[in-house]
Every structure is written in C-alpha cells, then in structure tokens.
Structure 1
C-alpha cells in the first residue's frame, strides 16, 4: 500500500484548505457572530443562516446522540479517511487528487466536530414556502464539490474512450 504519491501534496493542500475554511467559519459563527443567540439570520428570502447540531448523518440517520453512535461515526470517518488518503496517494490525475482532497477535508472537519462537540454544526438553510432543504455546512459543500468533480472526471474520461 502506497501512502505518498506524486499528487499527494496537491490532495493534502485541498484537504487542509477545506478543513481549515470549514473550521474557521464554524468558530467565527459560534464565537464571534454568536449564531445561537441571533438565529435565524435572513440573508435572502430563500436562505437563512441558523445553527443546527446534527448528531446523526444525512437526513438524521443515527441521530440518537449517544457516545456510542458518535464514536461509531468518528471511527467510520477515520477508516474512510484512510481509504481516501490511499486514493490520493495513488492518483494519477491532478483533478482526482484535488477532488478526493476536498472530500477528505470535509469528512475530517465533520469528524472533528463530532469529537469536540458531540455533533456537527450546520448553518446554511435554503427554503421556499413550506419546503426546507436540509441544513448543511462548508464541510458538506467540500464533500459534494469533490464528488461532483469526480463524477465530471469520470464522465469526461468515458467520453474520451
């Protein structure tokens, strides 16, 4: 198993950046803006900034908030992060390393929240009328962006073959 490859530095930069930006934003929202006391902050008619502590995973799965569930989710994130790092270390394309780095940084940022707060801090709420999209954070944005880049790369590679 290879732990460092020619594009590992690029993947590390994207992972570190997505982790750092997410954690800095969360710190700022929690300690400077004091979002908990000021929420919701209406930004647009369809977009608010709020604070929601997500004790589970997507759509509230595993949300009992127990330390067993949190420990399981943290352990799962560490295992997946190891697999993602191995993917970065063996990547042959810069887009792959950058995209997987975004996913890795986002996953580690949310795992860090679980370890420190016992839940993930989410802030962004889109809504139209009675419809509300799930509340998410910058780590989630990094994960989705990374996956979207991987899908793009896969589709463009398939077109070229």
Structure 2
C-alpha cells in the first residue's frame, strides 16, 4: 500500500473514532463536571471541556486564544502532512496519521464549541490525571510510534541516502604542496618551449 495512503487511513480512523465517542459522551454523560460513571477501578467517564491544549495544559492562559490555538494546530497538521507525503516507513506513516487525525478532531471541537470535549478520567489513589479524549490517545500513540520508528528502517534509509549524496559531492582529498623546483622541471619537461629555454640557458652558461 502507498505509505501516504496508509497514513491517511490512520488519520481518518483516529478522527472518526474521536468524533463518534465525543458525540456519545455529549449525549450520555450530560451534564458536564458531574460524578460520571465508573467503568474500571482506575477509570471514570466524566464529561468536561478543555479550553487549553492536550490533557488540559495551559487551560487558563489559552481560554481566550481559541483562534490562535486553531491556527497553530492547522500549521502543525500541514507540517505533518508534508512529512507524511515524504515518509518511507510504514510505522512512521501510521504515527503521523494518528497525530493528524487526533489534532483535527480537537481543532474541530474548538471551532464548534470553543473548547475540546473530554470525558476519560483516569485516576489512582485519589489522584486524577487531567481528563482527556480519544484524540489525545491518538496523538500520544502516534507520537510514540514516531519515536520508535526514529531508528527504524525508514530513518536508516534516509540516513543512507543522505550519506550517499554527501559522498558524491565530497571534494578531492587535499594534496601536499609541490616543491617549486619540481614544478618548474615538470613544466619544462611537459612543454617543448620550456625544454628549449632550458637548453638555451645551459649553452649561455
């Protein structure tokens, strides 16, 4: 399969899963910030809204900067898309697709509601991780795949190609400076005029 197509499929899967689960959370877990429902000893489903970035970071400072976050998110998606188009690694393509799909899911939330819909509440011993969503999971998993594939075949192929290009443009090795007398003798030996001049000087002497 064409690697950019593989990444695009991963992006679509992450985006659709994120939007479908958010729609379910909005219809089932309303009102927001309630006790929610427990599904595991370490996981609750509890609706909330995040005006910051992933996992609630910079929530207070970013509350009034929705369009800035949207613009930054779109720039990141554009950069990752260009990277996806050039990738030579399947793991890298899937990782980029997951990050792109998750980022687009959160960007769409900001455009619709001014904040990202979160509903996954992980906790342990009274400590709660900031509420997150499926898009955040896609971003984290995709980023992890990119880190893992950093030393994989795709990266090795790029490094080998870069080394071949550099080798083909290497300057010739430095030669030691030649003695001037040797250069003069070589010039005389290589050129008839030089040889005649040498003989003329000999007869004059």
State the shift of 1:36 in Å: 2.3
| C-alpha distance in structure 2 between counterparts of 1:24 and 1:112, whole Å | 13
| C-alpha distance in structure 2 between counterparts of 1:156 and 1:85, whole Å | 20
**TM-score when normalising by structure 1:** 0.86
State the shift of 1:45 in Å: 2.2
Larger Rg, first or second structure (1 or 2): 2
Aligned match of 1:63: 60
- Which of 112, 115, 121 is the aligned partner of 2:111? 115
| C-alpha distance in structure 2 between counterparts of 1:123 and 1:34, whole Å | 8
Is 2:138 aligned against 1:142? yes
- Which of 22, 31, 45 is the aligned partner of 1:36? 31
| Preserved CA contact (<8 Å) 1:57 1:63 | no
| Preserved CA contact (<8 Å) 1:54 1:63 | no
Is 2:37 aligned against 1:18? no
State the shift of 1:39 in Å: 4.1
State the shift of 1:34 in Å: 3.8
State the shift of 1:134 in Å: 1.4
State the shift of 1:60 in Å: 3.3
User: What are the ranges of 5 or more consecutive residues in structure 2 without an aligned counterpart?
Assistant: 160-205
**TM-score when normalising by structure 2:** 0.68
State the shift of 1:62 in Å: 4.7
